[in-house]
Chain A
Amino acid sequence: MSNPRSSIHRKLSYVVLAATFFALVITGTAMAFYDLRTFRETLIADLTAQADILGLAAAPALEFRDPESAQDYLALLEAKPNIIGAAIYAANGNLFASYPADKAADFPAIPDLDGHRVAGGTIGLFKRIATRHEILGTVYINARYDMLARLLGYLGIIGGVMALSLLTALGVSRKLQQSVTQPIAAITTVARHVMEKREFTQRAEKTTDDEIGLLVDAFNGMLGEIDHRTQILEQSNRDLEREVSERNRAETALRASDNRLRSLNAELEERVAARTAELQAANKDLEAFSYSVSHDLRAPIRAIMGFSTLLLEDHGPALDTEARRKLNVVMAEAGRMGHLIDDLLAFSRLGRKALDPTELDMQQLARTAFERLGQAGQGAGVDFRLGSLPRAKGDRSLFEQIWMNLVSNAIKFSANKESPVVEVGGITAEHEHVYFVRDNGAGFDPAYRDRLFGVFQRLHHDHEFPGTGVGLALVHRIVTRHGGRVWADGEVDRGATFHFTVPKETPDGGV
């Protein structure tokens, strides 16, 4: 790559030198041409004047046929070194006198007409010598006409001038260049620095107010703009890098927490699996237990009752009244134990039964419960007031059980009243249906309301109101399994109200 600085430097020198050179050549040529012409014309005029003077001077000599005096006049030409030779011809054309006298043979034999002839570096000029009346003769002058020498001399002068001029021009251009190329060189230096180092903070120094100054301004402005943009770019680059690193960090953290979560999850799943296995084992034990109870506990009771019956049948007459009463107590208690076991097993089965939720007409279920109880001989004389009940979603057989238990409870505990009333109603709240069964019967002590729904928990003595204490526990369990609540209000001898709720829609879509 050529040095841009030397390149522009050299070009400028060439321009200056070429301009000077051509100007000098053209001027020199014109001057030489003019000078050579002037020289010739001056020479001819000079020679013509010499010839005239010679003619005037030699006229008497010709008139008087005195060649010697003519010869003297011609000899005066010695003072003129450029004149090689001269001659005077008589009117008849014969050579009359000559200069130099001994070189007569070198002259033309006869005079020519007026005029000049250039030949072989000399110029020959003829001039008539005439008075007013006659032609006396002719003067001939032969002079040196050294054009080449004059031209060479001229060229020498022009060459010298040219050399001097070119040197001057070179010096001037040097000086000039400094003012032109230096600012450019400064820009170039800065530009190169910027290119190599990528440092856009550099500025070129402005030294002139001309176009180069403008260029420096533009260059500096451009650098400033680039610097500004570079800074913005670098800033945004830094921002991006920071963002990327932050993201990487976040990702790493996320991955770590993800791993942690996964291991926690796995641990949790293991624990759930372990617990599920434990629960399944426990459930299996429970099933085996209740299966065993179901079979084995009932058999002895059946034997007690059966053989008591056989005793009465086969040996009744041999027993007295008291013996028969005692035997009847045994049978009744065995029967009660059987019921307890049956209820307990029903309660246990409920915990394991899978729910089968369907749309339920609760009013119909309540009415059916009351009617079935009536068929079994309960509820005669009871004022059964059935309001409109909202429909709900639940397991049909289990809700049949609920209505059966609640309505039969209400009938049982209001049976001793003169005009027993059992009222069933329901409303729909925001998220659930609320149902109640109210009676005007024996009620209960509100202090013990929490015990109402416990298994085998009873608030009345068996001789007042028979029961196993499982019915309400079943209700509680069924309602809870459907996602509802159950509670009771009441006072002793002022009746009781049992409430239960069923969610409108359970979160898992089932119950």
Chain B
Amino acid sequence: MEEFEQVDILLVEDNPHDAELTIRGLSNQKLANNITWVKDGAEALDYVFRRNAYAGRSDNGPRLILLDLKMPRVNGIEVTRAVKSDERTKRIPIVIMTSSKEESDIIESYNLGANSYIVKPLDFESLAEVARQAGFYWLAINRVVS
């Protein structure tokens, strides 16, 4: 496979501003070239399972999913359940990045197999730092595993 075809991170985020800030935070770390952004859970599932608009995609991955919880159509919890219950995709690390500090969200995410749960910090520096650390950590782990 070609190195540039590799998609490292799938960012699932309905809020374009949050997406932009996250991508900006990651791009500062030279990870932006390998990011794919989808706008909700349904699109994320289409992408991961190569359905509908993504039926013919030729690239590999993703190797990490950054996932918001509260989204229109299909929410992050449902995406986590679908990805983690499929034999082909269940080893892809999922990092939940959300505004919610609700205990029920945290517990359910971990129960479904999410690998990390990160509450988005309010300020940009912290957000960028968190995104960067999560990306590096889980990409590194995933390389070791594969």
If A303-B17, A306-B21 touch, whether A295 touches B123 (CB-CB below 8 Å) is: no
Q: Mark A327-347, 1 if CB is under 8 A from B, else 0.
A: 000010011001000100100
Determine whether the beta carbon of A309 is less than 8 Å from that of B124: yes
Q: Complex Cα distance A299/B101, Å?
A: 13
B21, B24, B101, B103: the one contacting A302 at CB < 8 Å is B21
Contacting pair A298 B123 (CB below 8 A): no
Pairwise interchain contact A295-B124, C-beta atoms closer than 8 A: no
Min distance, Cβ B59 to any Cβ of chain A, angstroms: 29
Minimum distance in angstroms from B18 CB to a CB of chain A: 6
- Closest Cβ–Cβ distance, residue A396 to chain B (whole Å): 15
CB atoms of B99 and A349 under 8 A apart: no
**When chains A and B are docked, how far (Å) is the Cα of A19 from the Cα of B6?**
155
Q: Tell me the bound Cα distance from A353 to B107 in angstroms.
A: 14
From known contacts A305-B124, A309-B124, infer whether A294 and B102 are also in contact, taking CB-CB under 8 Å: yes
CB-defined contacts of B103 to chain A, threshold 8 Å: 349, 353
Given A305-B123, A335-B123, answer yes or no on A310-B24 (Cβ-Cβ < 8 Å). Answer: yes
B124 nearest CB across to chain A (Å): 4
Per-residue interface assignment for chain B, residues 94 to 132, with 1 indicating a CB less than 8 Å from any chain A CB and 0 otherwise: 000011111100000000000000001111110100000
CB closest residue in chain A, given B16: A303
- Hey, which chain A residues are within 8 Å of B100, CB to CB? 291, 294-295
Q: How many chain A residues have a CB neighbour from B under 8 Å?
A: 24
Give Cα distance in the complex from A334 to B124, angstroms.
12
Quick check: is A84 within 8 A (CB to CB) of the other chain?
Answer: no
The count of residues in chain B whose C-beta lies closer than 8 Å to any C-beta of chain A is: 20
* Pairwise interchain contact B124-A310, C-beta atoms closer than 8 A: yes
Closest-by-CB residue of A relative to B103 is A349
Shortest beta-carbon distance from A395 to chain B in Å: 14
Q: Of residues 301 to 319 in A, which have CB atoms within 8 Å of B's CB atoms?
A: 301-303, 305-310
Taking a contact as CB atoms closer than 8 A, the residue among A298, A307, A331, A334 that contacts B120 in the complex is A298
State whether the Cβ of B12 lies closer than 8 Å to any Cβ in chain A. Answer: no
Q: Chain B: which residue is nearest A294 at the CB level?
A: B100
Q: Which residue of B lies closest to A334 (CB)?
A: B122
* A306 and B99 form a contact (CB under 8 A): no
With contact pairs A310-B124, A335-B122 given, residues A302 and B102 touching in the complex (Cβ less than 8 Å)? no
B14 CB to nearest chain A CB (Å): 10
Residues of A within 8 A of B17 (CB): 299, 302-303, 306-307
Bound CA–CA A353/B123 (angstroms): 28
| Chain B residue nearest to A300 in the complex (CB) | B17
Those of B70-100 within 8 Å (CB) of chain A: 70, 98-100
Q: How far is the CB of B110 from chain A (nearest CB, A)?
A: 18
Q: Which A residues touch B24, using CB under 8 A?
A: 310
Shortest Cβ gap from B86 to chain A (Å): 27
User: Is B33 interfacial (CB 8 A cutoff)?
Assistant: no
Instruction: Give the CA-CA distance A294 to B122 in the complex, in Å.
Output: 12
Chain A residues whose CB sits within 8 angstroms of the CB of B38 once the complex forms = none
Residues 271-327 (chain A) with a chain B CB within 8 angstroms:
290-291, 294-296, 298-299, 301-303, 305-310
B71 — nearest CB in chain A belongs to which residue? A295
Task: Return the contact of A298 from the options B21, B69, B122 (Cβ within 8 A).
Answer: B122
Known interface pairs A294-B100, A349-B103. Does A302 touch B69 (Cβ–Cβ under 8 Å)?
Answer: no
Complex: A225 Cα to B121 Cα, angstroms: 106
Which residue of B is nearest A338, CB measured?
Answer: B122
Cβ of B120: which chain A residues have Cβ within 8 Å of it? 298, 302
Q: Distance in Å from the Cβ of B96 to the closest Cβ of chain A?
A: 12
* Chain A residue contacts of B60, Cβ below 8 A: none
How far apart are the CA atoms of A298 and B97 in the complex, in Å? 13
- Tell me which residues across on chain B come within 8 A of A298, comparing CB atoms: 99, 120, 122
A295 touches B99 (CB 8 A): yes
Q: What is the CB-to-nearest-CB distance from B123 to chain A, in angstroms, rounded to a whole number?
A: 5
Question: Closest residue to A345 on the B side, CB-wise?
Answer: B101
CA distance A408 to B117 in the complex (A): 28
Residue B15 is within 8 A (CB to CB) of chain A in the complex:
yes
CB distance from A332 to the nearest CB of B (A): 11
The chain A residue sitting closest to B21, CB to CB, is A306
A109-143 vs B, CB cutoff 8 Å, 1 = contact: the mask equals: 00000000000000000000000000000000000
Residue of A nearest to B125 (CB): A309
Interface contact A302-B127, CB-CB below 8 Å: yes
Query: Cβ of A303 and Cβ of B70 under 8 Å apart?
Result: no
Q: Which residues of A contact B (CB under 8 A)?
A: 290-291, 294-296, 298-299, 301-303, 305-310, 331, 334-335, 338, 342, 345, 349, 353
Which B residues are within 8 Å of any A CB, using their own CB? 15, 17-18, 21, 24, 69-70, 98-103, 120-125, 127
Of the A-B pairs whose beta carbons lie under 8 Å apart in the complex, a sample of 20, sorted by A's number, is: A294-B101, A294-B102, A295-B100, A296-B70, A298-B120, A299-B15, A299-B99, A301-B122, A302-B17, A302-B120, A302-B121, A303-B15, A303-B17, A303-B18, A303-B21, A306-B21, A307-B21, A335-B123, A342-B101, A353-B103
Not counting A295-B70, A298-B120, A305-B123, a sample of 19 additional A-B residue pairs whose C-beta atoms are within 8 angstroms of each other reads: A291-B100, A294-B100, A295-B99, A298-B99, A299-B15, A299-B99, A302-B18, A302-B120, A302-B121, A303-B18, A306-B21, A306-B127, A310-B24, A331-B123, A334-B122, A335-B123, A338-B122, A345-B101, A349-B101
Q: Which 10 A-B pairs have the closest CB atoms?
A: A309-B124, A306-B124, A303-B17, A306-B21, A298-B99, A338-B122, A295-B70, A295-B99, A294-B100, A305-B123
